Amino acid sequence: MKDVRGLAAHDLLPLLGDADEKVAQEAEDALERLGEEAVPLLRRAREEGPGRLRARALTVLARIGGEAALSRADVAAVERLVRVRLSDDRPGTLETCWSRWIAVPGGDRDGVVEALGLARPRPATFALARDVLDQDVHHRPVDSPRRYGRVFVTPELDGWTLVLGAWCDPCGEERAEDVLRLCTQLSARYGRAQAYYYGSQGDGSAWLIAEAGAVVRRYCETGEGEDELLTLGEPLPLERARRLELGLSPEWDAAQESEEDEEEWQWTASGLAPEIAAALGVSPLGLGPDTPSRGTGVLALTPYGTAHGVPPGAYRV
């Protein structure tokens, strides 16, 4: 196998079309590391060929500089591809390792975009949205504003519109109070609004329920030391039901419970967010091709994205 280490951009470029998939991938990674130095050659490959280089050249350009690195023709081509794929797009699960979302009843996607102060909404398939959300949670530093730069606003799904992304976090220090404010405002406009966090690797759950402009409940069970400080309102019926099933009192004070009872409840509550979301509306973890859907989803910039930009990347459509 060829060794691509140490090769210059003009030597690496032909290897994007190598018959050996591993060589082609290593050439792609090496060109990305060269950054702006490689952009002119990659753009030329997109314009002039040969054809075997074009697809990977586009991927590397997107990984280096995002949309800004693409020509107008390439941006238009990507947008056309999205439109084509949208013609038969169907809902699919939007679960990531750490899922955060806001849920609003109805199908007023554009109104939700406006109410949340989102910008530059652009049509997106479920596959594209899932890839963007996954990369944002796995490859962006926790303390980077760019982590909160974009969200996916779904089409109407079984009577609900969902907004997904790290920006929707109801329990993290960076976003908790703003999400509380936004859900309160959304509930005044739409009657109800909810926000959730769920860590699928045993990293806990959180839920925030607002109705008619007031918070009904906020509860977090994420293993963080100050979870209890975020608790607002009375337990939901589903919380009470689960505690009764465990043989625990439906009314409780963590400070007065036995350590054994508290641990049992923490373990149960840490996985409750998807169940509560499904019981009260729609969970993005339970979406599938049979989920009733109306309209088109969009990727949009949050105020963080408008101020700081979003990281470059290449995504599946």
CA distance 189 to 211: 10
Give the confidence band of 157 by pLDDT, cuts at 50, 70, 90. very high
Q: What is the dihedral of CA 148, 137, 24, 58, to 10 degrees?
A: -30
3-state secondary structure of 203: coil
Give the confidence band of 142 by pLDDT, cuts at 50, 70, 90. low
Q: What are phi and psi for residue 261, nearest 5 degrees?
A: -65, -40
pLDDT tens for 273-285 read 999 999 999 999 9
**Alpha-carbon distance values, 271 to 176, 200, 207 (Å):** 19, 8, 11
- Answer whether residue 315 shows pLDDT above 90: no
- 267 token code pair: 């373990």
In this prediction the pTM is: 0.90
Q: What are phi and psi for residue 282, nearest 5 degrees?
A: -135, 135
- Give the pLDDT score at 1: 47
Query: In the chain, where are the structural domains located?
Result: 9-70, 98-308
| Cα angle: 307, vertex 310, 312; to 5 degrees | 150
- Give the pLDDT score at 252: 79
Query: Burial letters for 71-83: b for 16+ Cβ neighbours within 10 Å, e otherwise?
Result: eeebeeebeeebe
**Alpha-carbon distance values, 265 to 123, 170, 240, 247, 268 (Å):** 41, 20, 11, 10, 5
CA distance 46 to 266: 54
Are 307 and 150 a contacting pair, CB within 8 Å? Answer: no
Which among 307, 272, 303, 285 is positioned nearest to 164, based on CA atoms? Answer: 285
On average, the pLDDT of the chain sits at 91
Q: What is the DSSP letter of 196?
A: E
Give the relative orientation of helices 51-65 and 21-34 as an angle to the nearest 10 degrees: 40
* CB atoms inside a 10 Å sphere around CB 257: 15
Are 4 and 30 a contacting pair, CB within 8 Å? Answer: yes
CA distance 149 to 252: 38
Percent of the chain residues past pLDDT 90, beyond the cut? 70
Query: Burial letters for 26-65: b for 16+ Cβ neighbours within 10 Å, e otherwise?
Result: bbbebbbebeeebbebbbebbeeeeeebbebbbbbbbbbe
- H/E stretch holding 212 reads none
- Answer whether residue 141 shows pLDDT above 80: no
pLDDT tens for 34-63 read 888 899 999 999 999 899 999 999 999 999
